């Protein structure tokens, strides 16, 4: 059994504050603090239609209603928050550069106050049956009602428990999700619990020395989760990829505390509807890698190459 360590529960740290917009679904009114102008990026804190749960979002300065924007949803790990996850991965800078809208919601606090996502049997609703699926779908609906979203380019990326939840959303909403990326997460242990009917591009990023969510699979409180390879293999089957795994000769650098290019890439191509499955293995990295500044950009490169067909 794998224990969720104190390190995996700890806060990663908040980034700088921005002007905030508070919005209540159905109220028809906005309260704006700090002010914005056309052509300026906007950070907002909104509330979904499910239990008025909040979520934060970033709208790039290039946004125009006449040009539907991609949407990336960033999901935090167990014990963290949307803002802490954004500070860790820094997707906001890439959103401004590449022109996508970024949403980073918060999970529900457990009895100890640590926020979680009810993603799979293994992780991480240890004492609750909260419906995070409904919350995230309500959030998507809310964003699509406010902004012009390219519905062929809706993506999820998450760390640890957020990676589990990203897999959950791909499984349960394969008609809506174009691609996901999971850092140190895993999918359902039993592929029958996924139930995806449509192909989704999947990227799994995982350190071989992860002692919290094991690279080779494990269990949490007696509930099993698959290995990094088994997680992507489920999607090789769903996507009906025609090629075996191809290991790319060139490695990349994702972990700044490990010298050199430590990350190998395995890729499965020729999948249904132009989808692709990749496994990025960070040699000797732990559960919370010291990510390089190019991490978010590389993840979005994968996303932007894989819209819904």
Which CATH number does the domain housing residue 286 bear? 3.40.50.1820
Please tell me the total count of domains within the chain. 1
Q: Quickly state the pLDDT bin for 21 (edges 50, 70, 90).
A: very low
Predicted confidence (pLDDT) at residue 54 exceeds the cutoff of 90: no
Q: CA separation (Å) from 18 to 131, 139, 224?
A: 30, 21, 40
Does residue 224 form part of some domain?
A: yes
Could you tell me the residue range of the domain that residue 81 belongs to?
Answer: 23-304
Lowest mean pLDDT among 33-37, 52-56, 182-186, 249-253: 33-37
95-155-167 Cα angle (round to 5): 135
Q: Quickly state the pLDDT bin for 245 (edges 50, 70, 90).
A: confident
Q: Quickly state the pLDDT bin for 4 (edges 50, 70, 90).
A: very low
Task: Output the pLDDT for position 125.
Answer: 85
Q: What are phi and psi of 139, to 5 degrees?
A: -65, -45
Does residue 67 form part of some domain?
A: yes
Does residue 190 form part of some domain?
A: yes
Predicted confidence (pLDDT) at residue 40 exceeds the cutoff of 70: no
Does residue 11 form part of some domain?
A: no
How far apart are the C-alpha atoms of 195 and 50, rounded to whole Å?
24
How far apart are the C-alpha atoms of 94 and 295, rounded to whole Å?
10
Does residue 13 form part of some domain?
A: no
User: Does the CA dihedral 6-110-218-136 come out positive or negative?
Assistant: negative
The percentage of the chain sitting over the pLDDT mark of 70, rounded to a whole number, equals 84
**Do residues 160 and 183 make contact, with C-beta atoms less than 8 angstroms apart?**
yes
Q: Provide the pairing of β-strand 201-207 with 218-220.
A: unpaired
Nearest of 202, 184, 162 to residue 282 by alpha carbon: 184
Q: Quickly state the pLDDT bin for 215 (edges 50, 70, 90).
A: very high
Token digits for 128?
Answer: 């609750």
Does residue 8 form part of some domain?
A: no
Task: Output the pLDDT for position 12.
Answer: 28
Q: What are phi and psi of 168, to 5 degrees?
A: -55, -45
Task: Output the pLDDT for position 23.
Answer: 30
Q: Which of 29 and 103 is assigned the larger pLDDT? A: 103
Q: Residues 38-43: what's their mean pLDDT?
A: 65
How far apart are the C-alpha atoms of 15 and 301, rounded to whole Å?
23
Task: Output the pLDDT for position 178.
Answer: 99
Does residue 172 form part of some domain?
A: yes
């Amino acid at each position: 059994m794998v224990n969720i360590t104190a390190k995996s529960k700890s806060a990663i740290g908040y980034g700088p504050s921005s002007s905030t917009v508070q919005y209540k679904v159905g109220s028809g009114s906005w309260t704006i603090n700090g002010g914005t102008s056309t052509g300026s990026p906007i950070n907002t804190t909104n509330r979904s239609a499910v239990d008025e749960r909040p979520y934060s979002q970033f709208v790039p300065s290039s946004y125009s209603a006449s040009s539907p924007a991609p949407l990336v949803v960033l999901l935090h790990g167990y014990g963290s928050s949307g803002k802490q996850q954004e500070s860790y991965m820094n997707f906001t800078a890439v959103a401004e550069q590449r022109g996508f809208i970024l949403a980073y919601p918060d999970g529900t606090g457990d009895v100890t106050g640590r926020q979680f996502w009810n993603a799979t049997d293994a992780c991480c609703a240890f004492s609750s049956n909260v419906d995070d699926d409904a919350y995230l779908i309500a959030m998507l609906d809310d964003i699509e009602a406010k902004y012009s979203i390219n519905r062929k380019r809706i993506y999820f990326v998450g760390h640890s428990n957020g990676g589990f939840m990203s897999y959950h959303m791909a499984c349960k909403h394969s008609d809506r999700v174009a691609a996901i990326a999971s850092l140190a997460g895993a999918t359902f242990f039993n592929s029958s619990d996924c139930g995806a009917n449509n192909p989704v591009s999947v990227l799994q990023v995982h350190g071989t020395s992860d002692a919290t969510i094991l690279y080779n699979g494990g269990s949490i409180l007696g509930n099993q989760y698959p290995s990094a390879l088994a997680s992507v293999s489920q999607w090789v089957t769903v996507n009906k990829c025609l090629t075996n795994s191809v290991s790319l000769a060139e490695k990349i650098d994702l972990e700044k505390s490990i010298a050199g290019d430590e990350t190998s890439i395995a890729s499965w191509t020729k999948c249904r509807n132009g989808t692709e499955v990749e496994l990025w293995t960070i040699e000797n990295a732990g559960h919370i890698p010291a990510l390089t500044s190019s991490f978010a950009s590389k993840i979005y490169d994968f996303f932007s190459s894989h819209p819904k067909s």
